[in-house]
Structure formats: C-alpha cells, structure tokens
C-alpha cells in the first residue's frame, strides 16, 4: 500500500527527471525548434482536452465498523484542460475541475460510522464537492499527425476547495423505498490536496489518485451515543481507476 512519503518521492523524482530531459533537449534542439517554427506553423489542435477521471478507494474494508462499498466509493472529476507544449516530448498540463468524492456505506449492525441505528436503513451515501485545479507534467511518447498526444504519462498535484456536501439515505419500509437527502455534514476539511498519475493510450488510460488531506477536520469528533463522542475515521487515501482524454 503506497504511503504519502513514497508517492511524494515518485513525484519529486519524476519532476527532477523531466527537468534534466528538458534541459538537455532545449540545448540540443533549439536550432531545430526555431527552424520548424519558421518553416511551418505548429499545430494547435492538441492544446485543449476534455478530461474525465474516475477512481475507486483501495482498501475499502480498512475498518469493519466503517463498512464502505468499494464499487461506489471514490472520486470523480471532470474538466477542460490546457496543455502547454514545451518541446516535442514534454508538456505542462493545467486543468480546472469539478471534483466529487463519494463514500457509500452498508447498513451493518456493527458499524460505528455513520452512526444511525435505524433498522429500515438500506444504504447511506456521503458526497463532498470541490472546485479544484490539477497541474502536472506530461511526457508524450508518441504524437499523431496533428501533434496531439497518443501515448503519454502524466504526474501532478491537485488543490481544491470544498463548495458543498450532501447526505443521502435509502430506507426500506413496508416494501417501499424512501429517500432522504440533506446537506448538513459537519466538520468537513475545506481544503483538498492530493497528487495523481495517468498512463494513457489515445483517449483511455489508467488513473491513480492519492489524497493528502483528510476528509474531516483533524481531531474533530462525532456523537456515537448520548455521552459517547468519537474521532472521525481517517479514510484510505489511495485510489485507482480510469481516465478519458478527448
């Protein structure tokens, strides 16, 4: 299971490697770049991309008393990216995104969070909404005839701010489904920080997401029982999924 230190090490190593590659290629290829720009305009069709990311929490069974549903717990983000081409292989990727982090809980009798003793409860979901931006280095292994990346790897950082939340409960009562929705989840950490990596071929790729920040404020507590207050759990940080780049 990756740790925060190991993920930071990968990012620092990748950035250092990209810097050295860039430094070497700028020195060797400067005349070629100037001549290419002079003889023929650079294609601009690869500057913008529509990007969708979906990742799922790894180790969703980290605590028996916090029963997450793996297939429904994780992060989704959508946005329009701008890609600044530095040279034929290296680019800088900037993407404003709308990000949603979802936690889905089973109604297990042994669960302690979220605390809800209602026996008619079938499912409970938390959603946290963020306005965020991704900034990363992209290394292009191959481009098409319009200068668009065909195969690339990208590693970067993400910073966001919480703009809302929602809680949804599904209750089964006398063969009827009752949905209850509210937006009053307390003690949320307002800032989102994390890192990510992508390995993409054409429009589809693997997506890895590591969240630095915790979902709830550090040291905050929730009421479990009348006189029993407990610390919010620290949810798993690492997620794996897919990305679509068009």
**Residues 188, 165 contacting (CB under 8 angstroms):** yes
Yes or no: say if 187 and 217 are a contact pair by the CB < 8 Å rule.
Answer: yes
**What is d(CA 103, CA 124) in angstroms, rounded to the nearest whole number?**
8
Residue 84 C-alpha from the chain's centroid: 21
Whole-angstrom distance, CA of residue 110 vs CA of residue 115: 10
Q: Which two tokens stand for residue 6?
A: 């190991």
Q: Mean pLDDT check: name the lowest of 100-104, 179-183, 203-207.
A: 179-183
Closest C-alpha to 244, from 211, 208, 209, 200: 200
Highest mean pLDDT among 110-114, 170-174, 230-234: 230-234
Torsion of CA 191, 81, 104, 216, to 10 degrees: -10
| pTM (two decimals) | 0.78
Q: What is the per-residue pLDDT across 23-72, written as a single tens digit (0 to 9) for each?
A: 554 444 443 433 344 333 333 346 888 999 999 999 988 998 999 999 99
């Amino acid at each position: 299971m990756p740790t925060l230190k190991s993920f930071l090490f990968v990012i620092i190593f990748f950035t250092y490697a990209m810097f050295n590659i860039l430094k070497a290629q700028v020195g060797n290829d400067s005349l070629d770049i100037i001549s290419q720009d002079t003889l023929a305009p650079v294609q601009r069709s690869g500057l913008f991309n529509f990007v969708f990311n979906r990742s799922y929490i790894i180790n969703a069974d980290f605590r028996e008393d916090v029963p997450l549903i793996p297939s429904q717990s994780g992060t989704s983000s959508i946005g329009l990216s701008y890609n600044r081409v530095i040279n034929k292989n290296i680019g800088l990727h900037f993407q404003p995104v709308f990000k949603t982090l979802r936690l889905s809980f089973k109604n297990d009798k042994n669960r302690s969070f979220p605390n809800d003793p209602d026996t008619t409860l079938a499912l409970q979901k938390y959603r946290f909404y963020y306005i965020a931006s991704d900034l990363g280095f992209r290394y292009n292994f191959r481009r098409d005839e319009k200068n668009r990346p065909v195969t690339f790897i990208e590693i970067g950082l993400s910073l966001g701010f919480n703009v809302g939340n929602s809680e949804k409960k599904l209750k089964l009562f006398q063969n009827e489904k009752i949905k209850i929705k509210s937006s009053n989840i307390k003690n949320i950490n307002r800032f989102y920080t994390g890192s990510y990596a992508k390995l993409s071929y054409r429009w589809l790729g693997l997506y890895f997401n590591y969240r630095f920040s915790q979902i709830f404020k550090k040291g905050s507590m929730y009421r479990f029982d009348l006189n029993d207050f407990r610390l919010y759990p620290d949810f798993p940080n690492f997620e794996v999924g897919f990305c679509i780049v068009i």
